[in-house]
Chains A and B, each alone.
Chain A
Amino acid sequence: MELTKNITLGIYLPGETSIHRLDPRTKIIATTLLIILLLFIRSYEAYGVFFIFTAAIIYFAGIPPRFALCGLKPMLPVLILMWVFQLFLYSTPDAEVLFSWFIFTATDTGLHMGNMITLRVLFLFTVTTMLTLTTSIVSLTDGLESLLNPLRKIGLPSQELVMTMVIALRFVLILAEELDKIVKAQMARGVAFDRGNFIQKTRKIFPVFLPLFINAFKRAEELIVAMEARSYSGGKGRTKMKTLHMGRVDLAAGGIMILYAALMVFILFSVSPRI
Chain B
Amino acid sequence: MNPLIEAVDLSYTYRAGSGKEVQALNGINLQVNRGEILAITGQNGSGKSTLARHFNGLLTPKAGKVLVEGLSVAEKENIPEIRKIVGMVFQNPDNQLISSIVEEDIAFGPENLGLTPAVIRDRVEYALETLGLQDLRSESPNQLSEGQKQLVAIAGVIAMKPRCIVLDEPTAHLDPRGRRGVLDSILHLNREEGITTVLLTHFMNEAVHCNRMIVMDQGVIKMEGSPGEVFRRREQIISLGLDLPVAAQLARGLRSRGIEVPEDIIQTEEIIDCLCRLK
Within 8 A of A (CB), among B101-121: 101, 103-104, 107-117, 120-121
Interface size, chain B (Cβ < 8 Å): 38
| B88–A239 touching, CB < 8 Å | no
A237 at the interface (CB under 8 A from B): yes
| A138–B104 touching, CB < 8 Å | yes
B145 at the interface (CB under 8 A from A): no
| A166–B99 touching, CB < 8 Å | yes
* Nearest CB of A to B120, in Å: 4
| A225–B112 touching, CB < 8 Å | no
**Would you give the 0/1 interface string for A187-228, flagging 1 where the beta carbon is closer than 8 Å to chain B?**
000000000000000000000000000000001001101111
Residue of A with least CB distance to B86: A229
Q: How far is the CA of A118 from the CA of B74 in the complex (A)?
A: 63
Contacts A222-B90, A229-B83, A230-B157 given; indicate if A241 touches B98 (C-beta within 8 A).
no
| B117–A243 touching, CB < 8 Å | yes
**Would you give the 0/1 interface string for B71-87, flagging 1 where the beta carbon is closer than 8 Å to chain A?**
00000000010011001
* Nearest CB of A to B86, in Å: 9
Q: How far is the CA of A14 from the CA of B97 in the complex (A)?
A: 24
Residue of A with least CB distance to B124: A241
A137 at the interface (CB under 8 A from B): yes
Residue of A with least CB distance to B143: A173
| B120–A229 touching, CB < 8 Å | no
| A239–B114 touching, CB < 8 Å | yes
Q: How far is the CA of A138 from the CA of B88 in the complex (A)?
A: 26
Query: With a CB–CB cut-off of 8 A, which chain B residues contact A240?
Result: 107, 111, 117, 120
**Would you give the 0/1 interface string for B142-171, flagging 1 where the beta carbon is closer than 8 Å to chain A?**
100000000000001100100000000000
* Nearest CB of B to A138, in Å: 6
| B142–A231 touching, CB < 8 Å | no
| B98–A231 touching, CB < 8 Å | no
Contacts A166-B99, A170-B99, A222-B95 given; indicate if A231 touches B117 (C-beta within 8 A).
no
Query: With a CB–CB cut-off of 8 A, which chain A residues contact B109?
Result: 230-231
| B58–A239 touching, CB < 8 Å | no
* Nearest CB of B to A5, in Å: 13
Within 8 A of A (CB), among B61-77: none
Q: How far is the CA of A169 from the CA of B105 in the complex (A)?
A: 13
Q: How far is the CA of A240 from the CA of B120 in the complex (A)?
A: 8
A232 at the interface (CB under 8 A from B): yes
B92 at the interface (CB under 8 A from A): yes
Query: With a CB–CB cut-off of 8 A, which chain A residues contact B245?
Result: none
A95 at the interface (CB under 8 A from B): no
Chain A's interface size range is 20 to 34
Contacts A138-B100, A167-B98, A219-B95 given; indicate if A228 touches B117 (C-beta within 8 A).
no
| A170–B97 touching, CB < 8 Å | yes
The residue in A170, A219, A226, A230 that gathers the most chain B C-beta atoms within 10 A of its C-beta is: A230
B56 at the interface (CB under 8 A from A): yes
| B156–A230 touching, CB < 8 Å | yes
| B94–A231 touching, CB < 8 Å | no
Query: With a CB–CB cut-off of 8 A, which chain A residues contact B121?
Result: 241
B141 at the interface (CB under 8 A from A): yes
| A239–B117 touching, CB < 8 Å | yes
Q: How far is the CA of A238 from the CA of B80 in the complex (A)?
A: 13
Q: Which of B56, B58, B100, B114 is within 8 Å of A170, CB to CB?
A: B100
The residue in A137, A225, A241 that gathers the most chain B C-beta atoms within 10 A of its C-beta is: A241
**Extra 15 A-B pairs, beta carbons < 8 Å, given A166-B100, A229-B58, A232-B112:** A138-B104, A170-B98, A174-B94, A222-B95, A227-B98, A229-B56, A230-B108, A231-B112, A231-B160, A232-B108, A238-B112, A239-B111, A239-B117, A241-B120, A241-B121
5 closest A-B pairs by beta carbon, nearest first, are A226-B96, A222-B95, A241-B107, A229-B88, A231-B112
Chain A residues within CB distance 8 Å of chain B: 137-138, 163, 166-167, 169-170, 173-174, 219, 222-223, 225-233, 237-243
Cross-chain pairs A/B with CB under 8 angstroms, 8 sampled: A138-B104, A229-B58, A229-B83, A230-B109, A231-B84, A239-B111, A240-B107, A240-B111
